[in-house]
Structure 1
């Protein structure tokens, strides 16, 4: 049980985002596991006092309690249908903008006091292992699966990239469709899909020099000693060079002290690679030399989901 004291500043910040009647918030606190009867105090003081009481009660899992209180606010932003102006055309603060400011402030207060919020009502102390998501987007091959470790999670995200692209390339009427025409496009989508689950993602970190030059990693996940490298096949001639490019990348990455695992994600929308399974077999596995060792995984996928 996480018997962690909830600082007064955190209690105040949470109180600022609570909305509803006394009966509504009484039910929320009781469902979250608040101990005892509701304090007989004014609205603002009541919730702050009750939170502090819960944080000091050894029978209460204070981190779970805190997560339950803020889960709906953190995970459910308002629907913003305004155009940012009032009836007279004067620019106003939209509900979504106001929400984002409140959410950023709460996140800042939590982090200043050694806490970190994760989707699904999970609050952990800084330095604790990241929780495995309770549910994540899956493709048809992973339907119903629940990841048990970071590799399972990343495998679902990577294999689901074509499905994630589909609603962005076929958008609603008058909405600008997105075209995944460069490696940067693939990197941005992958980055966006990872961010809710992985707190420390470092894009474009340099690798140690190999053959007189160095290169930038696409993504380094230092907590997991894992690097992700993306490629987009541009033409038939480029398809013939992708394997050689990845071999050079592997030589760079195995020299990096924070890279034990390398995932190579190759997007081939026109199916220019004639033998993707051969490419995977040639590159996957443990690559060891006196300079270092790295475990390589390769994914090759086209445009269809």
Structure 2
């Protein structure tokens, strides 16, 4: 794998814009693909040092990892304040949007000074390389069958963007009822809505053959691609320790289905209860074979910082 060294100024600038607890940022770095374990350092030094490690590891795609880490900051500005300056004990509080724009402009400038350019969706390239091409909509069954690679890219963007898609539905205008995403059905409904403009044939709750004496329903079957999407929402720490076992059973189910060659497991973990997301992905992903058939498994864990 070809890696790109990350200059110390870039690492420091990114560390400046990261907000969150050690646990939440540890999970963000691990989900982004940063090699562990986390450095045992103070807050600012920790993230800068970890990013330097990313840039020095020949087995890591440093630009992909860095893009994943800064994606939320770059693509999701804060909500505007109802009052740009709230007078608290006589101290004026700056407008969060104005402060965000200053931080973003500084980060963009430092990236470009060192030869990097960011594109929406967590895509970071070296200046001079071909710019990434946005995915074309997949409009019909004929197109769907001929563009599996575009479909994969589309799915990754939609799935990783679920937390951003939730924001305007959770924080609605005054007088409008806010939506909550507290169950797997809530996540399924949102994902279904986001997929429908792009994919013509989506079949929710298709039955799967029985396994170990029980039947199951697929969350979504995309028959033109022989692909199933299975969603999980992590409820608590106890469930976090069991979700991998649940997916192992699901994999056994889906391997029996003649119309399923690919299984995408979407795990929504808003409270970051999964302590080792990278390990879970490594354990579950890949081609899984059973006496009844094979299925290629992909796993995406989406947290509040995704």
User: Which SS does the other structure have where 1:214 is aligned?
Assistant: strand
**Cα pair distance change 1:272/1:145, threshold 3 Å:** farther
Find the structure with the greater CA-based Rg. Answer: 1
User: Which SS does the other structure have where 2:216 is aligned?
Assistant: coil
Structure with higher RCO (Cα < 8 A, 6+ apart): 2
**8 Å Cα contact 1:284/1:295 also seen in 2:** yes
> Which sections of structure 1, spanning at least 5 residues, go unmatched?
1-137
**8 Å Cα contact 1:266/1:300 also seen in 2:** yes
Give 1:102-251 correspondences, 5 Å limit: 140-142=121-123, 145-147=133-135, 149-251=150-252
Further displaced range: 224-233 or 207-216: 207-216
Partners of 1:255 and 1:141 in 2: how far apart?
36
> Which sections of structure 2, spanning at least 5 residues, go unmatched?
1-118, 125-131, 136-148
Higher strand share: 2
**Cα pair distance change 1:156/1:202, threshold 3 Å:** same
Runs of at least 4 residues off by over 3 Å? 142-145
**Cα pair distance change 1:281/1:179, threshold 3 Å:** same
**8 Å Cα contact 1:186/1:230 also seen in 2:** yes
Partners of 1:162 and 1:273 in 2: how far apart?
17
Alpha-carbon offset, residue 145 of structure 1: 4.2
What TM-score do the two structures reach when normalised by structure 2? 0.53
Count of residue pairs the alignment pairs up: 168
What TM-score do the two structures reach when normalised by structure 1? 0.53
Partners of 1:259 and 1:161 in 2: how far apart?
24
Partners of 1:210 and 1:219 in 2: how far apart?
19
Partners of 2:244 and 2:220 in 1: how far apart?
19
Partners of 1:260 and 1:140 in 2: how far apart?
27
**8 Å Cα contact 1:139/1:163 also seen in 2:** no
Q: Are 2:286 and 1:285 equivalent residues in the alignment?
A: yes
Q: Name the counterpart of 1:269.
A: 270
Partners of 1:178 and 1:210 in 2: how far apart?
35
Partners of 1:230 and 1:157 in 2: how far apart?
13
Partners of 2:252 and 2:299 in 1: how far apart?
15
**8 Å Cα contact 1:236/1:273 also seen in 2:** yes
**8 Å Cα contact 1:219/1:228 also seen in 2:** yes
